[in-house]
Amino acid sequence: MPVTFKVPKSPAKSVYKIDQFKGVDFSNSPINVDDNKSPNAINMIRDVPDKVRKRMGYEVVENYVNPDTYIENYADISFRDDDITYTSTATSYYRYYDSQTHTYRVRSREISATTTKVSVTYNTDDKTISLYGWCNEPVYATTPSIQPITYYYDNSPYSMVIAVGVPAGSYKMTFFPMSVSSASAIMKLKIGGETYTCTGGQKVVFDVTLSEESDLELVLGGTGSYSQHITSRYENDKIAVNIIKTTQYDSEQEYIPHGSNIPTDQTVYGCHYRREDEYPIYHAGKYMIQNGTILYSNANKAISHSWQFNENLYIMDGKKLLVYDGTTLEPVSNNATIPLVTISRDPIWGDGAGGGGTPHDPFNLMTPWFTEGFVVTADSATSTQFPMSVSPLGAAEVTAQIMDANGDWIDKVEGTDFDVNRTTGIITFHTAPGESPITGQDNVQITAQQSNTDYDDRINKCTFGTRFGVNGAYDRLFVSGNPDYPNFDWHSEIWDLKYFPDNSYSTLGSSKSAVVGYSIVSNYLAAHKDEMEDDMSIIIREGDMIDDKATFRIINTLQGQGAIASNSFLYLSTEPIFLTRSGLYAITAQDITGEKYSQSRSFYLNGKLCEEDYDNLCKSFAVIYNDMYILCVNEPIPSEDPDEVHYNTKMYILDGLQPMRTDKSEPYSTRQYAAFYCEMKDVSCMWERENRLYFGTVTGQVCRFYDDKDNINSFNDAGQPIYCCWETPDIDGQLFYKNKSLRYVAIRVGSALATSVKIYAMERGIWKFIKQDNTFARYFSFENLQFSKFAFSGNKTPQISRTKLRIKRVDKYRLRFVNEELNEPFTLYNIANEYTESGNYKG
């Protein structure tokens, strides 16, 4: 009888493919990430909407750190930190060096009126002084304890020559502060035939000019006390002497060890330029530099901002508001607008009355100077005394002008033509100015200085600002961020940033909460408060003219999470974007009058962004480029050298060309943006200029991103390769509980002179290398011939890399595509793979 055998069918092939790439999703679990997003992609950004490529690299265009900028200290005299003393309650113990055994010994000694003078030796290699012998007085304690180094001497000074070999030149020599037992304690240094003395433990700085190479002579000693001592307070009990080149001296740099060759802080903090200028101004360290010329050398070491008003460029660095006119860069306060605060004042005459007048302009916070006008009538024609409305007056010389019979103003000089009582504020002319030649018009103008001269710091210490005005004019600068006035802001006069009226301020919310940044929404100014504000996180103001004066009244407040980073406020697709602890948010026009606070825009980044260190987030900064909002967060890289500061710069990117529907997990949002993530090193600030993206580094470089994606030389970071990868979400087939067997993988990428891909697959949580394809998408070009990456193909269309593989009986798998080669682009168009699905997964 015939037997029939039935052969079971092979499992049907299933195809998984991705044709669109919408960036990363760090917030969802990889099993829940959409197919067109990646749970772990790095250095891949939008090529065109729905397609991604490796980010381009950068080149160094300026370098502000070179050997000429390094600070070298030619002498570092210090006491060793191993010369310590032990004491106890009953007996004084002395630690001394035994030159025979080359060890330290501890001996007790009865307290006496005499102290043995120590011996001193000098180490020529590390410029340190060692003290040996008795060197302590009793310090009572219950147990022996380590005491600071103490040097005892009698009235006879101790001298020694230190062979440091300081070259000829001009130097600043600094003695650093010491703790001394009496003001008569002294330390002297002799160099170049001159003697310099530090008395009473005070830090002093001397100008030293040497005509030839010189050595130092150290002299320790004093008078007035038999037993004095010097205890240092610097660097492990060092008494330091710095000798620095005059051109490199920095009064803020307290201590520089000899031989460390420390570079000046040339961190790049900003780039500023006027429309008329060929070269920008770079803010590097404490310098403002244009085309190699230092325009200003006392800048704050913090990110700076700038605005052009009329022909002038104004730069704010948190220390001084600066103005650049095309030739000179200086603090605004050097040449601020002097207001005419009062007109038609009366001199003192008759029964002694005087003053009055009509208020004209407010005082200017940027300058203590002010002018007042007086009108002399027939009744007061003989008066010589003119009272100012402010007293006491400052010490600066007062100036005056008197109108003559022809209507011309004649200058008068203090001490020659008039005297000043600064306490009462009365100006007394030697000859009465007389009646005004024009009835009712001022004929005397006096310019003086208020005694309080630090009002300009209210503006100078501000760290951010924005242009705003009445009815969308944007003709004033609003500034805030002053740490001394956290909930205040101020605005300038119309088109005049040299004039900040003293009544042009607002108090926004409670003083415990600081203003963090500004957004402009239609014709409204939104001031964002930080997280400490309980009742109003955004304060909305509108500009209006009332009685011919500009006023900016509050029209609404919004509640919600506070902003945390002043340098994160920028506009993406007309939306103001800013950073909160919960990610990037936008405030829209409908929020101004509606009930909502603001809308989340970074849901897909928040899983990683919100895990960043809070302090790092607060210091983050952003830039808009190529319709992308780029937020840079610096994570410090540990270093054994405390003088070296390096960062891993994480770039969180929102793509304004790819808005998407709101994720179901983010109900308080009308849309999200496709998001990307990149990493670099040491970025300190970033800006866009002439449609190119630039950034500065903490190591003093100005760098520019390449912009030609078809040039293979655009894909390196200053000569270093760029790692990029795209990773798929977990692929669990049509039925998540079935066994999957992966058999075939293919990708389509953009062809290039040189490109390659490494393919990895995750099997049961372990990544396995599958294949490296180096030649599939290359084409030949005589113009860019590289024998190491030679290709015979002339096909420049997108190419396919494919491979067979065997991953069996898994419930899910994941794929990763990597390019990490120097000068190789990588553009990803499609991903596909074939798998079979059969049987239930059993683990």
Residues 389 and 414 in one domain: yes
CA distance 112 to 813: 83
Q: What is the pLDDT of residues 440-451, one digit of tens each?
A: 999 999 999 998
Stretch 18-38: mean pLDDT: 95
- Of these ranges, 282-291, 658-667, 789-798, the one predicted with the greatest mean pLDDT is 282-291
Residue 45 domain-assigned (yes or no): yes
Integer Cα distance of 717 and 413 in angstroms: 63
CA angle, corner 54, sides to 53 and 57, nearest 5? Answer: 135
Give the pLDDT confidence of 233-273 residue by residue, as tens digits.
344 444 567 788 887 777 766 666 655 555 567 899 999 99
Q: Looking at residues 702-711, what average pLDDT do you find?
A: 94
User: What integer pLDDT is reported at residue 118 of this predicted model?
Assistant: 37
Which distant-in-sequence residues (6+ apart) come within 8 Å of 480 by Cβ?
A: 462, 463, 464, 465, 488, 489, 490, 515, 518, 527
Quote the pLDDT of residue 536: 78
Enter the tokens of residue 386: 């003119």
Is pLDDT at 605 greater than 90 in this prediction? yes
pLDDT in tens, 69-127: 567 777 655 543 333 333 333 333 334 334 444 444 444 433 333 333 334 444 555 44
Considering the domain architecture, whether residues 331 and 352 belong to the same structural domain is answered as no
Q: How far apart are CA 709 and CA 722, in angstroms?
A: 14
- Check whether 340 has a pLDDT greater than 70: yes
**% residues pLDDT > 70 (the chain):** 77
Q: E strands within 569-661?
A: 570-572, 575-580, 583-586, 599-600, 621-625, 628-637, 646-661
Q: Quick check: is 777 in a domain? A: yes
What the block records as the tokens of 592 is: 């101004």
Q: Are residues 228 and 134 in the same domain?
A: yes
**Confidence check: pLDDT of 829 > 80:** yes
CA–CA separation, 92 and 112 (whole Å): 10
Same domain membership, residue 215 and residue 286: no
Preceding peptide of 39 cis, ω within 30°: no
Q: Please give the residue range of the domain that contains residue 178.
A: 78-248
Q: Is the pLDDT of residue 574 over 80?
A: yes
Question: Cα angle at 431 between 425 and 436, to 5 degrees?
Answer: 85
Q: Please say if the pLDDT value at position 63 is more than 70.
A: yes
Last residue of a domain, one of 293, 319, 335: 335
DSSP per-residue letters across 439-451: TTS--EEEEEEBS
* Residue 5 binned pLDDT confidence (cut-offs 50, 70, 90): low
* Whether residue 100 sits in one domain with residue 28: no
Residues 732 and 805 grouped into a single domain: yes
Residues 178 and 282 placed together within one structural domain of the fold: no
Instruction: Let me know whether 763 and 816 are in one domain.
Output: yes
Same domain, 357 and 328: no
Kindly report, residue by residue over 387-437, the tens digit of the pLDDT.
999 999 999 999 999 999 999 999 999 999 999 999 999 999 999 999 999
Say how many domains are in the chain.
Answer: 4
Is residue 540 in a domain?
Answer: no
Is residue 287 over pLDDT 90? Answer: no
Question: Are residue 132 and residue 217 in the same domain, yes or no?
Answer: yes
Average predicted confidence (pLDDT) for the chain: 82
Query: Are 302 and 347 in a shared domain?
Result: no
Q: Average pLDDT, stretch 164-184?
A: 69
Has residue 679 been placed in a domain? no
Give the residue with greater pLDDT, 5 vs 181.
5
The neighbouring-strand residues paired with 121 are 130
